[in-house]
């Protein structure tokens, strides 16, 4: 038996703003952008080298969903972006005005710092250490 998580839905206020953030500031690629109706699009983005899981940028459809944009996990780190070069990506993100909520630190599992996406969702940028 084989299973995998294909997409994680991330609530956004606007598809185009979210695409711009993820592609221009985090170097993600648009995998798919398919109109489903006048109000709905299927927008999938992924970081360079991602083979399994990607983000489905889901536009908030009602007031309740809109209230959850940026806080899908109640203020906890939501997503974990692994990199093969922490300082390259950290410095690129700083130049692109990505907001980090803490200074980088060394942990047993690698080099890490928490950053916010355009709506305030918290992410870990991690370069895993040698195991």
Would you list the domain boundaries of the chain? 7-128
3: left (phi over 0), alpha (psi -120 to 50) or beta: beta
The per-residue pLDDT for 131 is 54
From CA 126, how far away is CA 114, in angstroms rounded?
9
The per-residue pLDDT for 39 is 83
The per-residue pLDDT for 52 is 86
The ranges of the chain with pLDDT < 70 are: 131
Residue 23: strand, helix, or coil: helix
Residue 93: strand, helix, or coil: helix
Q: Which of 14, 4, 5 is nearest to 57 (CA)?
A: 14
Pick the CATH number of 7-128 from 3.10.180.10, 3.40.1160.10, 3.30.2450.30, 3.30.450.40: 3.10.180.10
Q: Per the structure block, which two tokens stand in for 35?
A: 């109109």
Which residues contact residue 69 at a Cβ distance below 8 angstroms, ignoring those fewer than 6 apart? 11, 12, 13, 60, 119
Question: Is 59 exposed, middle or buried (CB count within 10 Å of its CB: 0-12, 13-18, 19+)?
Answer: middle
What torsion do the CA atoms of 49, 90, 93, 120 make, to the nearest 10 degrees?
90
DSSP assignment, residue 129?
Answer: P
Cross-sheet strand order for the sheet of 41-46: 7-12, 54-59, 41-46, 29-35
């Amino acid at each position: 038996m084989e299973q995998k998580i294909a997409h994680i839905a991330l609530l956004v206020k606007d598809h185009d703003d979210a695409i711009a953030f993820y592609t221009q500031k985090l170097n993600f690629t648009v995998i798919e952008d398919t109109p489903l109706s006048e109000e709905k699009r299927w927008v999938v983005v992924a970081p360079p080298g991602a083979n399994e899981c990607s983000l489905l940028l889901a536009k908030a459809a009602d007031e309740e969903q809109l209230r959850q944009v940026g806080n899908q996990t109640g203020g906890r780190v939501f997503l974990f972006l692994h990199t093969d070069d922490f300082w390259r990506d950290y410095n690129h993100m700083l130049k692109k005005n990505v907001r980090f909520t803490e200074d980088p630190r060394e942990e047993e599992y690698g080099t890490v710092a928490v950053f916010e996406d355009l709506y305030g969702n918290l992410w870990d940028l991690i370069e895993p250490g040698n195991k």
